Amino acid sequence: MIRPDVTLSQAWHFPTPTVMSLPTGLTVWHVHLPGQHLATFELVLPVALAAEPRDREGLGTVALHAIDEGTVSHPDGRIGELLEGQGATLHGTARLRYTTFGGQAPIRRLPEVLRLFVEVLAEPEYAERDVAHHIEAQVAAYDSKLASPGPSARLALRRELYGAEHREGRPAAGTPATLGQLTAADAHAWHRRHFTPDGAVLLVAGDLPDPAPLSRLADWVGPGRGSGSTPAPAPDGRSRIVVVDRPGSVQATILIGRRSVPRSHERWPALRLAGHAVVGAFASRLNLELRERLGYSYGIGGGFSPGVGESQFTVGGSVRTEVAADAVARLLDGLELRDPFTAAEIDDARRYLVGVAPLANETSADIVGQASALAAAGLDAGYMNRHFADLGEVTPAQATEAFREEVRPGTLTVAVAGAAEELLPALAARGLAAEVVDLRD
């Protein structure tokens, strides 16, 4: 029997938005998606959490989460009832380098929803009880993270990569000590200073051939201005292994990483393919080694993740405590990439990253999510199509060279959440010196 070759049917292209600039300084990206009757809209604010007072970290998160609890015109939750009556939902995230705030609504209800959205942006109530509620929620979320191995390992890794003295090395939503200092007046002040259309980008996607409803955003004005920031300087670059102690744990969560180049760097396409071949795919080198051959884990994953101004390379997974030290040693050994990538490995990575793009960008929410990340990074929407074309030009030799240059032995940081009493001597026996860190310090 002769089987047909399975190939990509045609090249897929990320949709090109219509870009408009409003007199208020707001930039609008409008993506018309025929057949998408649920519209997604998202505002990208250049608000860096480094602008928070040091003793009130978490203010950006609390101010964002409490913004739609009530407005001056519709207090006590009535604005939420009006939005719900239109079939709309709102969501937002205060990231370290920027903030997003938006929602979804049926296309035919979008004009009224955008009017209510502008009301939320312009006149949040910030009642004392609402702000207090969100402070309590963030304190509980912080305690939950420290009680969970995955989040605590991520917190430890980030602190090592950026340094606890820099905002990016500390929890984005603050700590109980800083959250406890916050008041409703702080939330009002943060909103007045940073929630402004000047320098912001609004992304809207859906079956909206006429962008006229978007003109309602011109009603949003604000006296504040954005607060962009530069990345924290890199620590000394030496490899370090830290352990977050979880006494009695029968499982250890491992996270290895380093800071890397931004997606505008010429090596970025090669690094994306290399990261997928090493650890991103189910059939990647490290997953096959630790899951399939050794049975240490249900899965090892990772790769290069883009951010604003830089990226991160990470490798992670959970293993049984008794094999955790050996798993760390094998992961570090595999990342030295002694054997160059084969043509088959890079071709498989390329086919996946290009082939999955249509599936990852099916809905209006998918499109807006990707576009907002581009806008936050200062990239135009055409970047995605250029990136897919660049992936097609990468050779195995280029992927090998880029990975070896970027992921050098001795520059990786390791964070392990598990039973320190067992992990420390086991790591030391393999020549890996580790120290215990307390995330509450």
pLDDT tens per residue, range 230-244: 666 665 556 799 999
pLDDT of 288: 97
CB 62 within 8 A of CB 188: no
The stretch 177-193 carries a mean pLDDT of: 98
**What value does the mean pLDDT of the chain take?**
95
Residue 8 has pLDDT above 80, yes or no: no
Domain ranges of the chain: 18-219, 240-436
Residue 114 has pLDDT above 60, yes or no: yes
Element (H, E) at 160: helix 149-162
Answer yes or no: CATH 3.20.20.70 is held by domain 18-219: no
pLDDT of 229: 58
Q: Sheet of 301-306: strands edge to edge?
A: 301-306, 311-320, 251-260, 413-418, 240-245, 435-436
The stretch 87-106 carries a mean pLDDT of: 98
pLDDT digits 0-9 by tens, 240-259: 999 999 999 999 999 999 99
pLDDT band at 2 (very low <50, low <70, confident <90, very high): confident
pLDDT of 1: 67
Nearest-angstrom CA–CA distance, 376 and 93: 13
Residue 155: count of CB within 10 angstroms of its CB:
23
pLDDT band at 409 (very low <50, low <70, confident <90, very high): confident
Q: Which CATH superfamily is domain 240-436 in?
A: Metalloenzyme, LuxS/M16 peptidase-like (3.30.830.10)
Torsion on CA atoms 194, 94, 161, 391, rounded to nearest 10? -100
pLDDT band at 224 (very low <50, low <70, confident <90, very high): low
**DSSP collapsed to 3 states, 377-414:** CCCCCCHHHHHHHHHCCCCHHHHHHHHHHHCCCCCCEE
The stretch 111-116 carries a mean pLDDT of: 97
pLDDT of 225: 61
Instruction: Check residue 13 and report its DSSP letter.
Output: -
Q: Of 235, 55, 99, nearest to 157 (Cα)?
A: 235
Residue 178 has pLDDT above 70, yes or no: yes
Map tokens 């420390």 to a residue. 424
Residue 192 has pLDDT above 60, yes or no: yes
For the chain, the first-to-last Cα distance in angstroms comes to 66
Q: Of 404, 226, 427, 230, nearest to 321 (Cα)?
A: 427
Q: Of 170, 226, 206, nearest to 55 (Cα)?
A: 170
Instruction: Say if 18-219 and 240-436 have the same CATH topology.
Output: yes
Residue 218 has pLDDT above 70, yes or no: yes
pLDDT of 18: 95
> By percentage, how much of the chain surpasses pLDDT 90?
89
Question: Under 8 Å CB-to-CB from 211, ≥6 apart: which residues?
Answer: 18, 20, 28, 30, 204
Q: Of 292, 297, 403, 390, nearest to 345 (Cα)?
A: 403
CB 205 within 8 A of CB 31: yes
pLDDT of 341: 98
Supply the Cα-derived Rg of the chain in whole angstroms: 23
The stretch 209-222 carries a mean pLDDT of: 88
Residue 228 has pLDDT above 90, yes or no: no
Assign residue 112 a region (left: φ > 0; alpha: ψ between -120 and 50; beta: otherwise): alpha
Q: Which is more confident, 237 or 264? A: 264
**Inter-CA distances, 382 with 206, 262, 335, 371, 388, Å:** 18, 17, 33, 10, 10
pLDDT of 234: 60
pLDDT digits 0-9 by tens, 369-390: 999 999 999 999 899 999 999 9
pLDDT of 9: 61
Nearest-angstrom CA–CA distance, 361 and 372: 13
Residue 323 has pLDDT above 60, yes or no: yes
Which residue stretches of 295-395 are H helix? 324-334, 343-355, 357-360, 364-376, 383-391
> By percentage, how much of the chain surpasses pLDDT 70?
95
Residue 412 has pLDDT above 70, yes or no: yes
C-beta contacts of 228-231 below 8 A and 24+ residues apart: 228/46, 228/48, 228/97, 229/48, 229/50, 229/51, 229/97, 229/167, 230/309, 231/168, 231/308, 231/309, 231/310
pLDDT band at 222 (very low <50, low <70, confident <90, very high): confident
What predicted TM-score, i.e. pTM, was given to this entire model? Answer: 0.93
User: Which token pair is 191?
Assistant: 């909103």
Q: Of 229, 416, 417, nearest to 307 (Cα)?
A: 229
Nearest-angstrom CA–CA distance, 47 and 191: 10
**Inter-CA distances, 436 with 24, 135, 191, 416, 433, Å:** 51, 29, 39, 9, 11
pLDDT digits 0-9 by tens, 296-311: 999 999 999 999 999 9
CB 120 within 8 A of CB 67: yes
Nearest-angstrom CA–CA distance, 269 and 304: 10
CB 353 within 8 A of CB 194: no
Burial-class residue 235 by CB neighbours within 10 Å (0-12, 13-18, 19+): middle
Nearest-angstrom CA–CA distance, 429 and 141: 36
